[in-house]
Amino acid sequence: MEITGHTVELLNDPTGIIEGDRYEFFLDLDIDEEDELYIESGAKLRVLFASKDGREWIANYDFIEAATGTPMGFALEEDEEQEVLDYCRTHKDA
């Protein structure tokens, strides 16, 4: 799995329930045809990235079908999760 691009949006919480900042990322993925995640129409990773008091973490994520937005029910491996976290840290203000 390789991240090839993204869109990101700072989420607004008018209620003030969520502390800190939350960003919604949609990561474009290049997935090898041999990988169980591969689907012909493409897959994306929707990531809710959180930041508060200098701490940053992945609050939630879902692999989704690119064409429909349907969740796919897969989980990231530990090294992939670190890669996604690092990517989001780098691109949150882009």
For residue 46, the enclosing domain spans 2-91
b/e string for 54-71 if b means 16 or more Cβ within 10 A?
eebebeebbbbeeeeeee
Please report which confidence band the pLDDT of residue 12 belongs to, taking 50, 70 and 90 as the band edges.
confident
- Among candidate residues 46, 60, 57, the one with its CA nearest the CA of residue 85: 57
What would the pLDDT profile of 40-86 be if each residue is shown by its tens digit?
888 999 999 999 999 999 999 999 999 999 999 899 999 999 999 99
Contact indicator for 60, 88 with CB cutoff of 8 Å:
no
Please report which confidence band the pLDDT of residue 26 belongs to, taking 50, 70 and 90 as the band edges.
very high
**Total number of domains constituting the chain:** 1
